[in-house]
Amino acid sequence: MCGRVIVRTTIAGLINSFTFAHRKEGDGLDDLPPRYNGSPRQDYPLIIHEDDVEGPVFVSANWGFIPGWMKDPKGGARPINAKSETVATNGMFRHAYKSRRALMPIDGFFEWKAIKGSKITQPYAIAMKSLQPFCIAGIWEHWFDHEVGRRVRTFCVLTCPANDLMQAIHERMPVILHPEDYQRWIANIEPDPNDLLTPFPSELMTMWPVSSKVGNPRNNTSDVVEEITLPPENGL
């Protein structure tokens, strides 16, 4: 699964990195802080298509998917991930997958490795070898929040089986898209571009062990992503 991300690049930096998208008026992006240890139920920049705006746009959205038909005033369970193998048929996700796909620009994500014979898990940061921001696949939806009296945009991240790099620590990973597929994914012309939902090549990625501080989402400082030295018995 994917439940923690790194978004330390500024909004201006993301816009400079993904020049095919532009800002939407009133996008709410200026209020977003850096996320060195980003967790669900927080707001993040997304790249999407909207019917009333020309071209891909950056917008703000909350991580934790709520389908538009949800009647629960609190939004229900709010899943943060959707499996790529079932997203096209799952009743909660299928309509958003067909017509409201998103790119989530990030600098990296975290995953935890179980330590054999111990209840302790070791967190790792995973990123591109270039350390440049990249995009993972998501779906989004509008939902009317009666508590605040307005529509809110929510999203979740798609996951797929782990590649060779990730298999050393976990069986699944977020769907990372190749840059040449970004606009195809969000164009919403194809109802089921499932050929894109595959493990990203291991040779383009890197990962390193980080402190257990990442376990607490309140630790949102740059040192959370710094590499630590592990004892041999806890290494890969």
| Annotation marks residue 111 as catalytic | yes
Check 25, 54, 85, 111 and give the catalytic one. Answer: 111
Strand partners, 206: 127
| Annotation marks residue 54 as catalytic | no
Report the candidate in 201, 67, 80, 226 with the shortest Cα–Cα distance to residue 142: 67
Token reading at 137: 């696949």
Tokens 């909350």 found at: 62
Eight-class DSSP state of 17: H
Q: Looking at the chain, which runs of residues are DSSP E strands?
A: 5-7, 22-23, 35-38, 43-48, 57-63, 81-83, 101-106, 108-114, 121-128, 134-145, 150-161, 172-174, 205-209
For 114, the enclosing helix (H) or strand (E) is strand 108-114
Check 2, 135, 156, 160 and give the catalytic one. Answer: 2
CA distance 199 to 162: 6
- By CB atoms closer than 10 A (0-12, 13-18, 19+), residue 198 is middle
Residues tagged active-site: 2, 111
